[in-house]
């Protein structure tokens, strides 16, 4: 009883500090630790961990809505993950389909966010692609807040695809390879990323204790702040999210011209 009371007081104190500070415009989250959570809990099926993780997504989006975070990007499935056992992948795709279908059926439940999926969709099952398209169409007029879900996503793959599309577009316009090489700038490649209109993430959170990004938003994260959380994704609490936002707000940051891509002010950490 006393512990719960103290916990509640601490959470409210954290929230006051977060609301009084600078809230990131765009938060990216690497949803890591579902399988290890399932093993720790002794679940009969690893996929039960993924189910718990899928339920946590609704909570996170709700927290972002409450605290005024307009853009959220969630990394749900990497291109590397596509090499897992077929039984696990089938369950993951079913969860993804149910989740995006829920967004498409209930806009208010999705916190009035426009839903978009980024990644190599051609690698996904047809039923998953169809569910994604329905959700995107149903929420196309929602907003202005956005929820991006990275599925079949890899940072190196995104950059490769962007360069490929840029080259194909320039060649179609009649540009020579020599001309492309001579005037190529980073901003041009940026325009061919999966979601070129979205500002770079201010804060990237990774759960499960891993201290790496694994290629998440590789191009966009050059000036992001990072926060690594020890808990597995299904165990991620509101208080953990508040701590991440408090950490972000407490860091001294300065504007960087190099990080101001697509009109979004970026910043670097003063060390």
Give the pair of three-digit tokens for residue 270: 């003063």
The answer to whether 92 and 144 are in contact (CB under 8 A) is no
Catalytic residue selected from 58, 65, 81, 161? 81
The answer to whether 178 and 167 are in contact (CB under 8 A) is no
Query: Which of 45, 70, 24, 51 lies closest to 246, judged by CA?
Result: 24
Calculate the alpha carbon distances from 158 to 57, 63, 190, 232, 245 in Å. 23, 28, 10, 26, 27
Would you call 32 a catalytic residue per the annotation? yes
Would you call 65 a catalytic residue per the annotation? no
Catalytic residue selected from 32, 48, 202, 235? 32
Tell me how long the chain is. 271
Break the chain down into helix, strand, coil percent, rounded to 5: 55, 15, 30
Q: Is the peptide bond before 144 cis (omega within 30 degrees of 0)?
A: yes
Rg (Cα) of the chain, in Å, rounded? 19
> Which residue numbers are catalytic?
32, 81
């Amino acid at each position: 009883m006393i512990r719960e009371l103290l916990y509640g007081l601490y959470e409210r104190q954290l929230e006051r500090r977060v609301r009084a500070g600078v809230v990131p415009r765009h938060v990216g989250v690497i949803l890591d630790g579902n399988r290890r959570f399932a093993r720790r809990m002794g679940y009969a099926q690893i996929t039960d961990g993924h189910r718990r993780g899928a339920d946590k997504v609704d909570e996170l989006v709700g927290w972002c809505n409450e605290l005024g975070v307009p853009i959220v990007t969630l990394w749900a499935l990497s291109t590397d993950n596509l090499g897992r056992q077929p039984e696990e992948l089938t369950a993951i795709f079913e969860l993804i389909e149910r989740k995006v279908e829920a967004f498409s059926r209930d806009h208010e439940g999705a916190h009035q966010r426009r839903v978009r999926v980024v990644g190599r969709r051609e690698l996904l099952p047809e039923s998953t692609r169809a569910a994604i398209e329905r959700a995107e169409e149903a929420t196309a007029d929602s907003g202005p807040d956005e929820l991006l879900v990275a599925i079949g996503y890899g940072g190196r793959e995104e950059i490769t695809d962007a360069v490929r599309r840029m080259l194909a577009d320039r060649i179609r316009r009649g540009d020579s390879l020599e001309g492309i090489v001579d005037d190529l700038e980073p901003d041009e490649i940026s325009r061919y990323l999966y979601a070129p209109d979205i500002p770079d993430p201010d804060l990237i959170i990774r759960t499960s204790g891993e201290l790496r990004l694994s290629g998440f938003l590789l191009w966009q994260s050059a000036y992001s702040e990072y926060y690594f959380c020890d808990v597995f994704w299904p165990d991620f609490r509101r208080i953990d999210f508040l701590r991440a936002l408090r950490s972000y707000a407490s860091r001294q940051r300065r504007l960087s011209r190099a990080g101001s891509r697509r009109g979004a002010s970026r910043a670097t950490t003063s060390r």
